């Protein structure tokens, strides 16, 4: 499948990979980082690690996805961030029973929560990778 539909299908497959990596990141946070760093520092470290993972995956997959232009890259980033927020909020609330306030608490930077960086990086990573690939 080629064209925009093929691009979106490949972008969806990459997003599914990102989901798997995010779950692994969360497991590492709980198993290794929280016991050694504490909850607050583990949250920051895990967020930074996931942002790095997203950037690397975007760099490695932008050509395959087909995001060669800025417009294509923005479309991929919008897809990824929409799916990410929908999954996190809807699955978090309806499948895992988390309250809306608990889910939104991770976005409260006034309380040291930096999770807002994940959707920002998720949106911008394909754009940054496409631009970087064009320059390289």
- Integer Cα distance of 106 and 113 in angstroms: 5
Higher-confidence residue: 111 or 11? 11
Mean pLDDT, residues 46-68: 95
Percentage of the chain lying above the pLDDT 90 cut: 84
> Model pTM greater than 0.85?
yes
Q: What's the pLDDT at 135?
A: 78
Chain segment 63-87, per-residue pLDDT in tens: 999 988 899 999 999 999 999 999 9
Contact 80, 62 (CB under 8 A): no
Higher-confidence residue: 124 or 111? 124
Domain extent, residue 53, equals 3-135
What is the token pair recorded at 35? 């016991």
Q: Where does the pLDDT of residue 1 fall: very low under 50, low under 70, confident under 90, or very high at 90 and above? A: low
- Residue recorded with tokens 């709980």: 30
How many structural domains are present in the chain?
1
Our measurement of the distance from residue 46's CA atom to the centroid of its chain's CA atoms, rounded to an integer in Å, reads 12
Higher-confidence residue: 111 or 32? 32
Q: Where does the pLDDT of residue 2 fall: very low under 50, low under 70, confident under 90, or very high at 90 and above? A: low
Question: In sequence order, what DSSP letters do the residues of the chain get, joined into one string?
Answer: --HHHHHHHHHHHHHHHHHHHHHHHHHHIIIIIHHHH-HHHHHHHHHHHHHHHHHHHHHHHHHHHT--SHHHHHHHHHHHHHHHHHIIIIIIIIIT---HHHHHHTT-GGGT--TTHHHHHHHHHHHHHHHHHHH-
Q: Where does the pLDDT of residue 56 fall: very low under 50, low under 70, confident under 90, or very high at 90 and above? A: very high
């Amino acid at each position: 499948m080629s064209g925009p539909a093929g691009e979106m299908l490949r972008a969806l497959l990459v997003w599914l990979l990102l989901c798997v990596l995010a779950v692994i990141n969360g497991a590492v946070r709980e198993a290794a980082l929280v016991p050694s760093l504490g909850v607050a520092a583990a949250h920051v470290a895990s967020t930074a690690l996931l942002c790095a993972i997203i950037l690397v995956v975007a760099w490695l997959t932008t050509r395959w996805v087909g995001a060669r232009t800025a417009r294509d890259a923005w479309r991929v980033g919008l897809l990824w961030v929409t799916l990410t927020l929908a999954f996190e909020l809807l699955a978090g609330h309806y499948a895992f029973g988390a309250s809306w306030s608990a889910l939104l608490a991770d976005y409260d930077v006034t309380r040291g929560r930096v999770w807002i960086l994940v959707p920002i990086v998720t949106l911008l990573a394909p754009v940054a990778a496409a631009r970087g690939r064009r320059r390289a």
